[in-house]
Amino acid sequence: MTAIAAASSGRIYRQAADFLSTLDDDWARHIAATGPCGHQPKPAREPYEALVRAIAYQQLHAKAGDATLGRLLALYPGSGFPTPEQLLTADEAALRGCGFSARKLAAIRGIAQATLDGIVPNRDDALSMPDEALIDRLVSLRGVGRWTVEMLLIYSLARTDVLPGDDFGVRDGYRRLKRLAAAPPRKQILEISQAWRPYRTIATWYLWRVPAAQAASQIP
């Protein structure tokens, strides 16, 4: 991210925090306790790379996902992230040795082929597409669900109004924030989140941090 882009993002995050703080006292206290939004998108990544990375992390803790990706990148020293062609021609045993299950291996190769076929758009084309159009296009791929595409929108395309309604951290964060007996289901959290527009990505970032903020507030 360039210095200009970073400054622009910082301004948007401040505006978003100010806006969310006006919603009610719970939001105001949480944002004051958490501090400035530290969301860090990776706008240089192509959608293809973002999707492969997302598959690598599916159902894994961060350290395990890091290890899987590290082993994959080690297969292509000095070349950065492997190209779709490289993934499609790579030895299956080598990819399995990185930590990819048979299901994940099929998914990443499907993404690679879809990229060559033009189904997975390049970054410039993706930037011009509305959120729902991109979601509808990519969830047709094996192993790619709505949440995966929403993470692409948030982190790779730096969209500022995305609410991943299926995300447990978002729903449970809201439950904790509002001291509810149960986390709201997807449909309800999406309805609630309409009041957070046009800053639902920043609201998501803050909701992910509710457990840590509440734990810190209980320290004597």
- Residues labelled as active-site residues: 167
DSSP for residue 194? G
Burial of 190 (0-12, 13-18, 19+ CB in 10 A): middle
Say whether 66 sits in a helix, a strand or coil: helix
Angle at 206 between CA 23 and CA 48, to 5 degrees: 125
| Ramachandran quadrant class, 160 (left: phi over 0; alpha: psi -120 to 50; beta: rest) | alpha
Report the alpha-carbon angle 188-193-198, nearest 5. Answer: 155
Helix/strand/coil for 157: coil
Q: How far apart are CA 171 and CA 178, in angstroms?
A: 11
CA distance 165 to 153: 14
Owner of token pair 């639902």: 200
